[in-house]
Structure 1
Amino acid sequence: MAIWPFGKKDKDKHEDAAARDTGAPGAEGAGNGNVGGTGTGTGAEGAGAAVTDTAADAAAAQNPGAAGTAGTAGTDGAAADPGAGEDVQVSGTGETGPFDGDSVNIEDFDFSDFASGVLNLGSLRLPLPKGSQVQVEMGEQGPRMLHVVTRHGRITPVAFAAPRSGGQWRTTVTEIVAKMKDDGLAPEIVDGPWGREIVAPNENGQLRLIGVDGPRWMLRFTLAAPTGHEQELADEARDLFARTFVYRGQDPVLAGNSLPVALPAQLVEQLQQAMKQRAAQQNQQNQQNPGGAAGQPGGTTKA
Protein backbone atom coordinates (compact mmCIF):
# COMPACT_ATOMS: atom_id res chain seq x y z
CA MET A 1 0.00 0.00 0.00
CA ALA A 2 1.21 3.48 -0.78
CA ILE A 3 2.28 5.71 2.07
CA TRP A 4 0.50 9.05 1.90
CA PRO A 5 2.53 12.15 2.89
CA PHE A 6 1.03 13.13 6.19
CA GLY A 7 2.36 12.77 9.69
CA LYS A 8 1.71 13.42 13.33
CA LYS A 9 1.42 16.95 14.68
CA ASP A 10 4.01 18.38 16.99
CA LYS A 11 2.77 17.99 20.54
CA ASP A 12 3.27 21.68 21.35
CA LYS A 13 0.95 22.58 18.43
CA HIS A 14 -1.82 20.22 19.47
CA GLU A 15 -3.99 22.73 21.31
CA ASP A 16 -3.73 25.36 18.55
CA ALA A 17 -4.70 22.81 15.91
CA ALA A 18 -7.63 21.61 17.99
CA ALA A 19 -8.92 25.15 18.24
CA ARG A 20 -8.74 25.58 14.46
CA ASP A 21 -10.73 22.44 13.70
CA THR A 22 -14.26 23.36 14.63
CA GLY A 23 -15.77 20.53 12.63
CA ALA A 24 -17.90 23.03 10.72
CA PRO A 25 -17.76 23.06 6.93
CA GLY A 26 -16.96 26.75 6.92
CA ALA A 27 -13.43 26.16 8.18
CA GLU A 28 -11.07 28.07 5.89
CA GLY A 29 -13.56 28.39 3.04
CA ALA A 30 -15.03 24.92 3.12
CA GLY A 31 -18.53 26.28 3.48
CA ASN A 32 -18.89 28.99 0.83
CA GLY A 33 -21.62 27.67 -1.37
CA ASN A 34 -24.89 28.49 -3.06
CA VAL A 35 -27.79 26.64 -4.58
CA GLY A 36 -26.96 24.30 -7.42
CA GLY A 37 -28.93 22.19 -9.85
CA THR A 38 -30.17 18.68 -9.37
CA GLY A 39 -26.98 16.70 -9.15
CA THR A 40 -25.13 18.53 -11.92
CA GLY A 41 -23.91 22.02 -11.03
CA THR A 42 -20.93 22.08 -8.71
CA GLY A 43 -19.47 25.55 -8.60
CA ALA A 44 -15.96 24.13 -8.26
CA GLU A 45 -14.40 25.28 -11.53
CA GLY A 46 -17.05 23.40 -13.47
CA ALA A 47 -16.15 20.07 -11.93
CA GLY A 48 -18.71 17.41 -12.58
CA ALA A 49 -20.70 19.61 -14.93
CA ALA A 50 -20.74 16.72 -17.38
CA VAL A 51 -21.68 14.17 -14.69
CA THR A 52 -25.30 13.18 -14.25
CA ASP A 53 -26.77 10.39 -12.18
CA THR A 54 -27.61 7.12 -13.88
CA ALA A 55 -29.72 4.44 -12.28
CA ALA A 56 -26.55 2.53 -11.42
CA ASP A 57 -24.96 5.65 -9.94
CA ALA A 58 -27.95 6.22 -7.71
CA ALA A 59 -27.96 2.58 -6.64
CA ALA A 60 -24.24 2.57 -5.92
CA ALA A 61 -24.45 5.78 -3.92
CA GLN A 62 -26.99 4.23 -1.59
CA ASN A 63 -26.76 1.04 0.47
CA PRO A 64 -26.88 -1.82 -2.04
CA GLY A 65 -26.89 -4.48 0.65
CA ALA A 66 -30.15 -4.73 2.54
CA ALA A 67 -29.95 -5.65 6.18
CA GLY A 68 -31.14 -9.14 5.33
CA THR A 69 -28.21 -9.74 2.96
CA ALA A 70 -25.53 -8.18 5.09
CA GLY A 71 -25.36 -11.37 7.10
CA THR A 72 -23.80 -13.08 4.09
CA ALA A 73 -20.63 -11.07 4.55
CA GLY A 74 -17.65 -13.32 4.22
CA THR A 75 -18.97 -15.35 1.32
CA ASP A 76 -16.39 -15.69 -1.40
CA GLY A 77 -18.08 -13.91 -4.30
CA ALA A 78 -15.20 -14.95 -6.54
CA ALA A 79 -17.44 -15.67 -9.49
CA ALA A 80 -18.50 -12.02 -9.64
CA ASP A 81 -14.98 -10.59 -9.46
CA PRO A 82 -12.46 -12.94 -11.06
CA GLY A 83 -8.83 -11.94 -10.86
CA ALA A 84 -9.30 -9.45 -8.04
CA GLY A 85 -6.68 -9.47 -5.32
CA GLU A 86 -7.30 -9.83 -1.61
CA ASP A 87 -9.18 -7.03 0.09
CA VAL A 88 -7.65 -5.23 3.04
CA GLN A 89 -9.33 -5.22 6.43
CA VAL A 90 -7.78 -2.25 8.18
CA SER A 91 -7.22 -2.06 11.90
CA GLY A 92 -7.89 1.65 11.72
CA THR A 93 -4.98 2.42 14.01
CA GLY A 94 -2.01 2.59 11.60
CA GLU A 95 -0.08 5.49 10.12
CA THR A 96 -2.38 5.60 7.09
CA GLY A 97 -6.14 5.37 7.08
CA PRO A 98 -8.97 5.10 6.89
CA PHE A 99 -8.78 5.46 10.65
CA ASP A 100 -11.02 4.18 13.42
CA GLY A 101 -11.95 7.44 15.13
CA ASP A 102 -12.93 5.62 18.33
CA SER A 103 -9.31 4.44 18.67
CA VAL A 104 -7.24 7.18 16.98
CA ASN A 105 -7.32 10.90 17.76
CA ILE A 106 -7.65 12.96 14.60
CA GLU A 107 -6.04 15.91 16.40
CA ASP A 108 -2.74 14.03 16.40
CA PHE A 109 -2.48 14.32 12.60
CA ASP A 110 -1.48 17.17 10.35
CA PHE A 111 -3.47 17.26 7.09
CA SER A 112 -2.63 20.85 6.17
CA ASP A 113 -0.77 19.71 3.04
CA PHE A 114 -4.04 18.40 1.68
CA ALA A 115 -7.04 19.89 3.44
CA SER A 116 -8.46 23.34 4.07
CA GLY A 117 -10.64 22.16 6.94
CA VAL A 118 -12.21 19.09 8.53
CA LEU A 119 -15.88 18.35 7.95
CA ASN A 120 -17.38 16.76 11.07
CA LEU A 121 -20.41 14.59 10.24
CA GLY A 122 -20.51 12.67 13.49
CA SER A 123 -19.84 9.19 12.14
CA LEU A 124 -17.34 10.59 9.62
CA ARG A 125 -14.67 13.26 9.68
CA LEU A 126 -13.37 14.29 6.28
CA PRO A 127 -10.32 16.52 5.77
CA LEU A 128 -11.75 18.38 2.76
CA PRO A 129 -9.39 18.70 -0.22
CA LYS A 130 -8.30 22.26 -0.87
CA GLY A 131 -10.62 23.96 -3.34
CA SER A 132 -13.44 21.47 -2.79
CA GLN A 133 -17.05 22.13 -1.86
CA VAL A 134 -19.67 20.22 0.06
CA GLN A 135 -22.84 19.41 -1.88
CA VAL A 136 -25.95 18.14 -0.10
CA GLU A 137 -28.59 16.31 -2.09
CA MET A 138 -32.09 16.99 -0.83
CA GLY A 139 -34.96 14.54 -0.72
CA GLU A 140 -38.61 14.85 0.26
CA GLN A 141 -37.77 14.29 3.93
CA GLY A 142 -34.67 16.49 4.00
CA PRO A 143 -30.96 15.84 3.30
CA ARG A 144 -30.50 12.52 1.51
CA MET A 145 -26.86 12.37 0.49
CA LEU A 146 -23.66 14.37 0.85
CA HIS A 147 -20.99 14.81 -1.82
CA VAL A 148 -17.50 16.30 -1.83
CA VAL A 149 -17.02 18.08 -5.16
CA THR A 150 -13.60 18.97 -6.53
CA ARG A 151 -12.46 20.25 -9.92
CA HIS A 152 -12.02 16.63 -10.99
CA GLY A 153 -15.48 15.36 -10.09
CA ARG A 154 -17.66 14.17 -7.23
CA ILE A 155 -16.93 11.93 -4.24
CA THR A 156 -19.77 10.44 -2.19
CA PRO A 157 -18.59 9.04 1.17
CA VAL A 158 -20.75 6.66 3.21
CA ALA A 159 -19.88 4.61 6.30
CA PHE A 160 -21.81 1.47 7.23
CA ALA A 161 -22.09 -0.74 10.27
CA ALA A 162 -20.43 -4.11 9.67
CA PRO A 163 -19.91 -7.41 11.48
CA ARG A 164 -16.76 -7.96 13.49
CA SER A 165 -15.76 -10.77 11.13
CA GLY A 166 -15.39 -8.36 8.21
CA GLY A 167 -15.90 -9.36 4.60
CA GLN A 168 -18.79 -6.95 4.00
CA TRP A 169 -16.99 -5.04 1.24
CA ARG A 170 -16.48 -8.25 -0.76
CA THR A 171 -20.19 -9.01 -0.56
CA THR A 172 -21.08 -5.40 -1.42
CA VAL A 173 -18.88 -5.55 -4.53
CA THR A 174 -20.78 -8.61 -5.74
CA GLU A 175 -24.13 -6.87 -5.25
CA ILE A 176 -23.10 -3.60 -6.89
CA VAL A 177 -21.56 -5.35 -9.90
CA ALA A 178 -24.79 -7.31 -10.43
CA LYS A 179 -26.87 -4.13 -10.16
CA MET A 180 -24.66 -2.24 -12.61
CA LYS A 181 -24.92 -5.06 -15.14
CA ASP A 182 -28.70 -5.03 -14.78
CA ASP A 183 -28.58 -1.30 -15.57
CA GLY A 184 -26.62 -1.91 -18.76
CA LEU A 185 -23.18 -0.89 -17.54
CA ALA A 186 -19.98 -2.90 -17.94
CA PRO A 187 -18.30 -2.87 -14.51
CA GLU A 188 -14.77 -4.12 -14.04
CA ILE A 189 -13.05 -5.20 -10.83
CA VAL A 190 -9.57 -3.70 -10.44
CA ASP A 191 -6.97 -3.83 -7.69
CA GLY A 192 -6.51 -0.66 -5.67
CA PRO A 193 -4.53 0.20 -2.52
CA TRP A 194 -7.25 -1.36 -0.32
CA GLY A 195 -8.14 -4.28 -2.60
CA ARG A 196 -11.14 -4.45 -4.91
CA GLU A 197 -12.38 -1.32 -6.66
CA ILE A 198 -15.30 -1.23 -9.09
CA VAL A 199 -14.84 0.78 -12.29
CA ALA A 200 -17.63 1.33 -14.80
CA PRO A 201 -17.64 3.77 -17.75
CA ASN A 202 -20.86 5.59 -18.51
CA GLU A 203 -21.97 8.12 -21.11
CA ASN A 204 -20.63 11.02 -19.06
CA GLY A 205 -17.33 9.61 -17.82
CA GLN A 206 -16.64 6.97 -15.21
CA LEU A 207 -17.97 5.60 -11.95
CA ARG A 208 -15.53 4.13 -9.44
CA LEU A 209 -16.22 2.64 -6.02
CA ILE A 210 -13.54 2.29 -3.36
CA GLY A 211 -14.23 0.39 -0.14
CA VAL A 212 -12.59 -1.17 2.86
CA ASP A 213 -13.64 -3.09 5.97
CA GLY A 214 -12.71 -1.60 9.33
CA PRO A 215 -13.44 -2.72 12.90
CA ARG A 216 -17.26 -3.07 12.89
CA TRP A 217 -17.60 -0.60 10.02
CA MET A 218 -17.22 -0.44 6.27
CA LEU A 219 -16.25 2.75 4.42
CA ARG A 220 -17.23 3.30 0.78
CA PHE A 221 -16.52 6.14 -1.62
CA THR A 222 -18.49 6.47 -4.88
CA LEU A 223 -16.66 8.55 -7.49
CA ALA A 224 -18.30 10.20 -10.49
CA ALA A 225 -15.64 11.57 -12.84
CA PRO A 226 -16.34 13.44 -16.09
CA THR A 227 -14.46 12.27 -19.17
CA GLY A 228 -10.80 13.19 -18.99
CA HIS A 229 -10.69 13.43 -15.18
CA GLU A 230 -10.96 9.75 -14.28
CA GLN A 231 -7.43 9.19 -12.96
CA GLU A 232 -7.15 12.58 -11.28
CA LEU A 233 -10.34 11.99 -9.32
CA ALA A 234 -9.25 8.46 -8.37
CA ASP A 235 -5.96 9.80 -7.00
CA GLU A 236 -7.67 12.62 -5.11
CA ALA A 237 -10.32 10.31 -3.67
CA ARG A 238 -7.68 7.85 -2.46
CA ASP A 239 -5.87 10.71 -0.75
CA LEU A 240 -9.11 11.62 1.05
CA PHE A 241 -9.91 7.97 1.77
CA ALA A 242 -6.53 7.55 3.48
CA ARG A 243 -7.25 10.56 5.73
CA THR A 244 -10.87 9.78 6.63
CA PHE A 245 -11.91 8.93 10.19
CA VAL A 246 -14.89 6.66 10.91
CA TYR A 247 -16.68 6.79 14.28
CA ARG A 248 -18.70 3.61 14.77
CA GLY A 249 -19.65 4.34 18.38
CA GLN A 250 -21.31 1.85 20.70
CA ASP A 251 -24.93 2.32 19.65
CA PRO A 252 -26.49 -0.76 18.03
CA VAL A 253 -26.72 -0.45 14.24
CA LEU A 254 -27.69 -3.40 12.07
CA ALA A 255 -24.83 -4.54 9.83
CA GLY A 256 -25.32 -3.15 6.35
CA ASN A 257 -27.09 0.00 7.50
CA SER A 258 -25.39 3.35 7.05
CA LEU A 259 -24.04 5.04 10.18
CA PRO A 260 -26.01 8.14 11.19
CA VAL A 261 -24.76 11.49 9.91
CA ALA A 262 -25.12 14.77 11.81
CA LEU A 263 -24.75 17.92 9.73
CA PRO A 264 -22.81 20.79 11.34
CA ALA A 265 -24.90 23.77 12.44
CA GLN A 266 -23.45 26.06 9.78
CA LEU A 267 -24.32 23.63 7.01
CA VAL A 268 -27.84 23.16 8.39
CA GLU A 269 -28.32 26.93 8.35
CA GLN A 270 -27.14 27.11 4.75
CA LEU A 271 -29.52 24.30 3.80
CA GLN A 272 -32.45 26.04 5.43
CA GLN A 273 -31.66 29.25 3.57
CA ALA A 274 -31.29 27.36 0.29
CA MET A 275 -34.59 25.57 0.80
CA LYS A 276 -36.35 28.89 1.43
CA GLN A 277 -34.81 30.34 -1.72
CA ARG A 278 -35.81 27.27 -3.71
CA ALA A 279 -39.39 27.46 -2.40
CA ALA A 280 -39.59 31.15 -3.26
CA GLN A 281 -38.30 30.49 -6.77
CA GLN A 282 -40.81 27.69 -7.23
CA ASN A 283 -43.67 29.88 -6.02
CA GLN A 284 -42.61 32.60 -8.46
CA GLN A 285 -42.50 30.09 -11.32
CA ASN A 286 -45.93 28.76 -10.39
CA GLN A 287 -47.36 32.28 -10.38
CA GLN A 288 -45.83 33.02 -13.77
CA ASN A 289 -46.96 29.69 -15.21
CA PRO A 290 -50.02 28.59 -13.23
CA GLY A 291 -50.88 25.88 -15.74
CA GLY A 292 -47.42 24.30 -15.66
CA ALA A 293 -46.36 21.11 -13.96
CA ALA A 294 -45.80 21.20 -10.23
CA GLY A 295 -42.19 21.43 -9.11
CA GLN A 296 -40.42 18.27 -8.17
CA PRO A 297 -39.01 17.86 -4.64
CA GLY A 298 -35.32 17.53 -4.11
CA GLY A 299 -32.32 19.30 -5.55
CA THR A 300 -28.73 19.84 -4.62
CA THR A 301 -27.36 22.48 -2.30
CA LYS A 302 -23.71 23.38 -2.22
CA ALA A 303 -21.80 24.50 0.82
Structure 2
Amino acid sequence: MFRRRAKGEDAGNQLDELADADSNEFEDASDLEDGEGERVGLPPAPRPEGPFDINEVEGAAKDGRVDLGGLLVPGVDGMELRVEVAGDAIVAATLVLGNSAIQLQAFAAPRSEGIWGEVRDEIADGIRQQGGVVDEEESNLGWGLRAQVPVQLPDGTRGVQLVRFVGCDGPRWFLRGVISGQAAMQDDAAAVLEQVFRQTIVVRGDSPMAPRDPIVLRLPEDAQMVPDGMPQQGRPASMGDLNPFDRGPEITEVR
Protein backbone atom coordinates (compact mmCIF):
# COMPACT_ATOMS: atom_id res chain seq x y z
CA MET A 1 0.00 0.00 0.00
CA PHE A 2 2.88 2.34 0.73
CA ARG A 3 5.65 2.88 -1.76
CA ARG A 4 9.14 2.12 -0.51
CA ARG A 5 11.17 5.26 -0.04
CA ALA A 6 14.65 5.53 -1.47
CA LYS A 7 17.68 5.25 0.77
CA GLY A 8 18.14 8.48 2.68
CA GLU A 9 14.58 9.68 2.02
CA ASP A 10 12.57 10.35 5.16
CA ALA A 11 8.85 10.14 5.88
CA GLY A 12 8.47 13.90 5.56
CA ASN A 13 9.70 13.77 1.95
CA GLN A 14 6.90 11.36 1.04
CA LEU A 15 4.24 13.63 2.51
CA ASP A 16 5.81 16.70 0.88
CA GLU A 17 5.43 14.98 -2.49
CA LEU A 18 1.75 14.33 -1.76
CA ALA A 19 1.32 17.96 -0.69
CA ASP A 20 2.89 19.20 -3.93
CA ALA A 21 0.59 16.97 -5.99
CA ASP A 22 -2.49 18.12 -4.09
CA SER A 23 -1.61 21.80 -4.41
CA ASN A 24 -1.63 21.39 -8.20
CA GLU A 25 -5.00 19.64 -8.18
CA PHE A 26 -6.81 21.66 -5.50
CA GLU A 27 -9.39 24.18 -6.61
CA ASP A 28 -8.18 27.78 -6.32
CA ALA A 29 -9.63 29.36 -3.20
CA SER A 30 -7.73 32.66 -3.43
CA ASP A 31 -10.91 34.60 -4.06
CA LEU A 32 -12.35 33.55 -0.68
CA GLU A 33 -11.68 35.58 2.43
CA ASP A 34 -9.91 33.90 5.34
CA GLY A 35 -12.02 33.59 8.46
CA GLU A 36 -10.85 35.27 11.64
CA GLY A 37 -11.62 34.50 15.28
CA GLU A 38 -14.44 32.20 16.33
CA ARG A 39 -16.07 30.32 13.48
CA VAL A 40 -19.20 28.94 15.15
CA GLY A 41 -22.09 29.33 12.73
CA LEU A 42 -19.85 30.49 9.86
CA PRO A 43 -19.11 28.71 6.57
CA PRO A 44 -16.02 26.47 6.56
CA ALA A 45 -12.77 28.33 5.88
CA PRO A 46 -10.80 27.68 2.67
CA ARG A 47 -8.43 24.67 2.86
CA PRO A 48 -5.78 25.23 0.18
CA GLU A 49 -3.36 22.94 2.08
CA GLY A 50 -5.92 20.34 3.16
CA PRO A 51 -7.57 18.29 4.46
CA PHE A 52 -9.33 17.79 1.14
CA ASP A 53 -12.75 16.76 -0.07
CA ILE A 54 -12.83 13.92 -2.60
CA ASN A 55 -14.37 16.30 -5.15
CA GLU A 56 -11.43 18.69 -4.86
CA VAL A 57 -8.72 16.36 -6.12
CA GLU A 58 -8.11 14.53 -9.37
CA GLY A 59 -7.42 10.82 -9.55
CA ALA A 60 -3.65 11.17 -9.68
CA ALA A 61 -3.61 13.02 -6.35
CA LYS A 62 -5.20 10.01 -4.61
CA ASP A 63 -2.17 7.80 -5.27
CA GLY A 64 -0.11 6.80 -2.26
CA ARG A 65 -3.07 6.86 0.14
CA VAL A 66 -4.75 4.04 2.04
CA ASP A 67 -8.40 3.70 0.97
CA LEU A 68 -10.59 3.40 4.07
CA GLY A 69 -13.80 4.25 2.26
CA GLY A 70 -14.77 7.43 4.11
CA LEU A 71 -11.12 8.52 4.38
CA LEU A 72 -8.13 8.31 2.06
CA VAL A 73 -5.12 8.48 4.37
CA PRO A 74 -1.53 9.18 3.26
CA GLY A 75 0.92 6.42 3.99
CA VAL A 76 4.32 6.62 5.64
CA ASP A 77 6.78 3.72 5.78
CA GLY A 78 6.89 2.11 9.21
CA MET A 79 3.42 3.33 10.15
CA GLU A 80 0.77 1.03 11.63
CA LEU A 81 -2.90 1.58 10.89
CA ARG A 82 -5.48 0.53 13.48
CA VAL A 83 -9.24 0.87 13.33
CA GLU A 84 -11.88 1.45 15.98
CA VAL A 85 -15.25 -0.28 15.80
CA ALA A 86 -18.58 0.96 17.16
CA GLY A 87 -21.08 -1.89 16.89
CA ASP A 88 -20.61 -3.31 13.40
CA ALA A 89 -19.18 -0.11 11.91
CA ILE A 90 -15.59 1.12 11.69
CA VAL A 91 -15.71 4.76 12.75
CA ALA A 92 -12.09 5.84 13.40
CA ALA A 93 -8.56 5.09 12.25
CA THR A 94 -5.42 5.48 14.36
CA LEU A 95 -2.07 5.86 12.64
CA VAL A 96 0.88 4.94 14.85
CA LEU A 97 4.40 6.00 13.96
CA GLY A 98 7.05 5.12 16.54
CA ASN A 99 5.92 6.45 19.92
CA SER A 100 3.41 8.88 18.42
CA ALA A 101 -0.09 8.49 17.02
CA ILE A 102 -2.97 10.39 15.46
CA GLN A 103 -6.56 9.20 15.56
CA LEU A 104 -8.67 10.38 12.62
CA GLN A 105 -12.46 10.50 12.66
CA ALA A 106 -14.79 12.18 10.16
CA PHE A 107 -18.36 13.30 10.80
CA ALA A 108 -21.23 14.71 8.77
CA ALA A 109 -21.76 18.44 9.20
CA PRO A 110 -24.29 21.08 8.09
CA ARG A 111 -23.98 22.30 4.53
CA SER A 112 -23.72 25.99 5.40
CA GLU A 113 -21.69 26.20 8.61
CA GLY A 114 -18.66 24.77 10.34
CA ILE A 115 -18.88 23.02 13.71
CA TRP A 116 -15.24 22.79 14.88
CA GLY A 117 -15.54 25.85 17.14
CA GLU A 118 -18.58 24.37 18.87
CA VAL A 119 -17.05 20.88 19.11
CA ARG A 120 -13.82 22.34 20.47
CA ASP A 121 -15.71 24.03 23.32
CA GLU A 122 -17.56 20.81 24.14
CA ILE A 123 -14.32 18.78 24.26
CA ALA A 124 -12.70 21.35 26.54
CA ASP A 125 -15.70 21.45 28.88
CA GLY A 126 -15.78 17.65 29.10
CA ILE A 127 -12.09 17.39 29.98
CA ARG A 128 -12.36 20.11 32.62
CA GLN A 129 -15.34 18.33 34.19
CA GLN A 130 -13.12 15.27 34.56
CA GLY A 131 -10.53 17.36 36.39
CA GLY A 132 -8.23 17.81 33.39
CA VAL A 133 -6.44 20.89 32.11
CA VAL A 134 -7.09 22.35 28.65
CA ASP A 135 -5.41 25.21 26.79
CA GLU A 136 -6.63 26.54 23.45
CA GLU A 137 -3.81 27.05 20.97
CA GLU A 138 -3.35 28.27 17.42
CA SER A 139 -0.97 26.12 15.40
CA ASN A 140 -0.24 25.64 11.71
CA LEU A 141 -3.40 23.47 11.66
CA GLY A 142 -5.52 26.34 12.96
CA TRP A 143 -7.21 26.52 16.35
CA GLY A 144 -6.99 23.42 18.51
CA LEU A 145 -6.64 22.17 22.07
CA ARG A 146 -3.68 20.94 24.11
CA ALA A 147 -4.93 18.94 27.08
CA GLN A 148 -3.89 16.94 30.12
CA VAL A 149 -6.55 14.24 30.43
CA PRO A 150 -6.95 12.29 33.71
CA VAL A 151 -6.50 8.53 33.19
CA GLN A 152 -6.06 5.41 35.27
CA LEU A 153 -2.61 3.80 35.01
CA PRO A 154 -2.11 0.01 34.78
CA ASP A 155 -1.21 -0.15 38.49
CA GLY A 156 -4.51 1.49 39.45
CA THR A 157 -3.06 4.91 40.27
CA ARG A 158 -4.23 8.10 38.61
CA GLY A 159 -2.19 9.95 36.04
CA VAL A 160 -2.59 12.22 33.03
CA GLN A 161 -2.24 11.70 29.30
CA LEU A 162 -1.07 14.59 27.16
CA VAL A 163 -3.07 14.96 23.93
CA ARG A 164 -3.70 17.52 21.21
CA PHE A 165 -7.05 17.92 19.48
CA VAL A 166 -7.07 19.34 15.94
CA GLY A 167 -9.99 19.79 13.60
CA CYS A 168 -11.09 21.06 10.22
CA ASP A 169 -14.48 21.94 8.71
CA GLY A 170 -15.10 20.89 5.12
CA PRO A 171 -18.08 20.80 2.73
CA ARG A 172 -20.72 18.86 4.70
CA TRP A 173 -18.09 17.15 6.85
CA PHE A 174 -15.82 17.72 9.82
CA LEU A 175 -12.49 15.95 10.39
CA ARG A 176 -11.09 15.57 13.90
CA GLY A 177 -7.59 14.45 14.83
CA VAL A 178 -6.30 13.43 18.26
CA ILE A 179 -2.49 13.52 18.50
CA SER A 180 -0.92 11.58 21.36
CA GLY A 181 2.36 10.11 22.54
CA GLN A 182 5.63 11.89 21.88
CA ALA A 183 4.02 14.06 19.19
CA ALA A 184 1.69 15.62 21.79
CA MET A 185 4.74 16.96 23.64
CA GLN A 186 7.33 17.66 20.93
CA ASP A 187 6.61 19.74 17.86
CA ASP A 188 9.34 18.01 15.87
CA ALA A 189 7.72 14.62 16.44
CA ALA A 190 4.31 16.06 15.51
CA ALA A 191 5.37 17.39 12.09
CA VAL A 192 4.79 14.15 10.15
CA LEU A 193 1.44 13.45 11.83
CA GLU A 194 0.30 17.01 11.14
CA GLN A 195 1.10 16.43 7.47
CA VAL A 196 -0.89 13.19 7.59
CA PHE A 197 -3.88 15.18 8.86
CA ARG A 198 -3.45 17.84 6.15
CA GLN A 199 -3.12 15.33 3.32
CA THR A 200 -6.13 13.21 4.32
CA ILE A 201 -9.03 13.16 1.83
CA VAL A 202 -12.60 12.91 3.16
CA VAL A 203 -15.24 10.96 1.20
CA ARG A 204 -18.54 12.23 2.60
CA GLY A 205 -20.83 10.65 0.01
CA ASP A 206 -24.21 11.98 -1.09
CA SER A 207 -26.46 10.07 1.32
CA PRO A 208 -28.44 12.15 3.83
CA MET A 209 -26.76 12.17 7.24
CA ALA A 210 -27.56 13.99 10.45
CA PRO A 211 -24.91 16.46 11.63
CA ARG A 212 -22.23 14.73 13.74
CA ASP A 213 -23.06 11.26 12.46
CA PRO A 214 -19.75 9.43 11.96
CA ILE A 215 -18.69 8.77 8.38
CA VAL A 216 -18.27 5.00 8.28
CA LEU A 217 -14.91 3.55 7.25
CA ARG A 218 -13.87 0.15 5.89
CA LEU A 219 -10.72 -1.93 5.89
CA PRO A 220 -8.38 -1.81 2.88
CA GLU A 221 -8.68 -4.81 0.58
CA ASP A 222 -5.07 -5.86 1.21
CA ALA A 223 -5.13 -5.34 4.99
CA GLN A 224 -3.03 -7.78 7.01
CA MET A 225 -4.93 -8.51 10.21
CA VAL A 226 -3.05 -8.77 13.52
CA PRO A 227 -4.94 -10.34 16.45
CA ASP A 228 -6.02 -7.86 19.10
CA GLY A 229 -3.77 -7.88 22.12
CA MET A 230 -0.60 -8.96 20.29
CA PRO A 231 2.37 -7.18 21.88
CA GLN A 232 3.86 -4.38 19.83
CA GLN A 233 7.45 -3.19 20.23
CA GLY A 234 7.76 0.36 21.47
CA ARG A 235 4.13 0.64 22.58
CA PRO A 236 3.79 2.63 25.82
CA ALA A 237 1.81 1.31 28.75
CA SER A 238 -1.96 1.74 28.59
CA MET A 239 -3.19 5.01 30.05
CA GLY A 240 -6.93 4.60 29.70
CA ASP A 241 -9.51 4.91 26.94
CA LEU A 242 -7.80 7.84 25.23
CA ASN A 243 -4.63 5.84 24.61
CA PRO A 244 -4.61 4.99 20.87
CA PHE A 245 -1.72 2.57 21.35
CA ASP A 246 -4.09 0.19 23.13
CA ARG A 247 -7.36 0.73 21.25
CA GLY A 248 -9.29 -1.01 18.55
CA PRO A 249 -10.28 -4.65 18.19
CA GLU A 250 -8.75 -4.77 14.74
CA ILE A 251 -5.27 -3.84 13.61
CA THR A 252 -3.65 -3.67 10.20
CA GLU A 253 0.06 -3.42 9.66
CA VAL A 254 1.05 -1.41 6.63
CA ARG A 255 4.59 -1.84 5.31
* Alignment TM class, shorter chain as reference: 0.5 to 0.7
Q: Is the 8 A contact 1:152 1:229 kept in 2?
A: no
How far 1:119 sits from its partner (Å)? 1.0
* 1:119 matched residue in structure 2: 66
- SS of equivalent residue, structure 1 residue 200: strand
Cα displacement string for residues 133-160 of structure 1 (whole angstroms, at most 9, x for unaligned residues): 1123456757564210011411100111
Q: Is the 8 A contact 1:198 1:209 kept in 2?
A: yes
CA distance in 1, matches of 2:86, 2:203: 25
1:201 aligns with 2:187: no
Unaligned runs of 5+ in 2: 1-14, 25-35, 150-158, 231-247
User: 121, 138, 159: which is aligned to 1:174?
Assistant: 121
* 1:164 matched residue in structure 2: 111
* 1:257 matched residue in structure 2: 213
* 1:147 matched residue in structure 2: 94
- SS of equivalent residue, structure 1 residue 266: coil
CA distance in 1, matches of 2:186, 2:59: 29
CA distance in 1, matches of 2:183, 2:141: 24
Q: Is the 8 A contact 2:80 2:252 kept in 1?
A: yes
User: 97, 101, 111: which is aligned to 2:50?
Assistant: 97
Structure with greater helix percent = 1
CA distance in 1, matches of 2:108, 2:90: 20
- SS of equivalent residue, structure 1 residue 89: coil
How far 1:299 sits from its partner (Å)? 4.2
- SS of equivalent residue, structure 1 residue 167: coil
* Identity percentage of aligned residues: 27
How far 1:224 sits from its partner (Å)? 1.3
Name the Cα RMSD after superposition: 3.2
User: 167, 171, 177: which is aligned to 1:215?
Assistant: 171
How far 1:106 sits from its partner (Å)? 5.0
Structure with greater strand percent = 2
How far 1:301 sits from its partner (Å)? 2.8
User: 128, 147, 164: which is aligned to 2:75?
Assistant: 128
* 1:31 matched residue in structure 2: none
* 2:155 matched residue in structure 1: none
- SS of equivalent residue, structure 1 residue 8: helix
TM-score by length of 1: 0.56
Q: Is the 8 A contact 2:91 2:105 kept in 1?
A: no
How far 1:180 sits from its partner (Å)? 0.6
TM-score by length of 2: 0.65
* 2:238 matched residue in structure 1: none
CA distance in 2, matches of 1:302, 1:240: 17
Cα displacement string for residues 179-210 of structure 1 (whole angstroms, at most 9, x for unaligned residues): 11112110111012343211112445511011
Higher deviation after alignment, 189-198 or 206-215: 189-198
How far 1:131 sits from its partner (Å)? 2.0
Q: Which amino acid aligns with 1:176?
A: I
Q: Is the 8 A contact 1:199 1:206 kept in 2?
A: yes
